[in-house]
Structure 1
Amino acid sequence: MNIIGLYIPGDSLLHRVPAGAKLLVLLVTVTAVIAIGNLWVALGSALVAALAYPLGGLAPRYVWRMFRPVLPFLVLIAVFQGIVGDWPTAARVCAQLTTAVLLAALVTLTTRVSEMLALFERLARPLRFAGVRPDRVALVLALTIRSIPMVEAALRASREAYAARGLRGRPHLIVVPVIVGLIRSAEATGEAMAARGLD
């Protein structure tokens, strides 16, 4: 199964670590950072997460690329938490979320989608006794992962077309074409799956 995702090909140390081990480290690290609940631990873990990118042979720009989409949400969370609570707690929560985002992105960037799906399919095998088909679980995850770059590409194309036409102040002109395009892509995918006998 060859699915375009966020994976960056490479032969670094992190690329060679099995997907299961990386996901386990991700789970344990994020759980520990949240459970400890210390500001300095959270800030330190966020810094370590950012510094871990070179281990994956990834340039510093990838840290910003992964962090930028969640930055507006972190600002909103920080402001809200700072108003209703206190600013140290706001900083701790944002640092914890930053750690989780950067580490999850690092796993995604250094793990082949096919390897990740094979792992999920193995993990889903015990669910066969409940009538769940592991191959269908992998298919759903594959389609979900495939949709991430597809949505990003559609949004970027719509934004460029919007700017090229000199339009301003009408954001719905960006969103509507993206939604229509994604619906058409979903219909085409559904038809292709039906033609191959996948229901």
Structure 2
Amino acid sequence: MSVVHRLPAGVKLAVLALSCTALFLLGTPLALAGAAAAVLLGYALARIGPSAAWSQVRPIRWFAAALFTLQFLTSGLDPALVSTGRVVLAVALAGLLTLTTRTADLIACLERLLSPLRFAGIDPFRVSLLLSLTLRSVPVISELATRVREAQRARGVERSVRAFAVPLVVSALRYADALGEALTARGIDD
């Protein structure tokens, strides 16, 4: 277990919040290159290899390419590098948090942080569970999309939107249904 893994979930959440805030205050490609070096150092300290690190940002690669292109065409190279770099690094930081923090620890920490919401009639456990399930669902949906894309290639229908969208939606609904059944079996339902 690395030093990053041993940090409390609350400390990691605070570092994530401060780091993401700092990312959006940085305004030059050089400053973001320094931030990228710091993120890579975090992954190295956590002993997370390049393939696991890449798997955290791979799902947004097309979004990042589209964002870069749009920003480049409308604002120029430096703003395109800065805006795209901010998003990619924020996702990488969130990935580092999820790779080094157990879900139970994250839920418990979020529940403690959200406990003042009880006075407004909001259940902190449900909100923290929702946030944790959202974090967990992003890579699951990404994996489902990869499987559907591979099946599309195998059938020779790479360009068909329908051949991609229908199986992806069906797979995502099956995942949601299985997740709902698991939550119900654990007594977490309305």
With normalisation by structure 2, the TM-score equals 0.85
2:168 to 178, 189, 192: 178
- In the other structure, the counterpart of 1:72 is 62
Partner-residue secondary structure (3-state), 1:52: helix
- In the other structure, the counterpart of 1:198 is 189
Alpha-carbon deviation of 1:139?
A: 2.9
Q: Work out the CA distance in 1 between the residues paired with 2:88 and 2:183.
A: 37
- In the other structure, the counterpart of 1:8 is none
Partner-residue secondary structure (3-state), 2:97: helix
Deviates most, 84-93 or 122-131: 84-93
Q: Would you tell me which structure has more helix in proportion to its own residues?
A: 2
Q: How many residues align?
A: 189
Structure 1 moving runs of 4+ over 6 Å: none
User: Any stretches of 5+ residues in structure 1 without a counterpart?
Assistant: 1-10
1:156 to 128, 146, 156: 146
Alpha-carbon deviation of 1:147?
A: 2.4
Deviates most, 157-166 or 63-72: 157-166
- In the other structure, the counterpart of 2:49 is 59
- In the other structure, the counterpart of 1:131 is 121
Q: Work out the CA distance in 2 between the residues paired with 1:145 and 1:79.
A: 27
Q: Work out the CA distance in 2 between the residues paired with 1:194 and 1:36.
A: 45
- In the other structure, the counterpart of 2:36 is 46
Identity %: 38
1:109 to 93, 99, 110: 99
Residues 32 and 68 of structure 1: CA distance in aligned 2, closer, same or farther (over 3 Å): same
Checking the alignment, whether the CA contact within 8 Å between 1:117 and 1:142 is kept in structure 2 is: yes
- In the other structure, the counterpart of 2:22 is 32
RMSD over aligned Cα, in angstroms? Answer: 2.3
User: Any stretches of 5+ residues in structure 2 without a counterpart?
Assistant: none
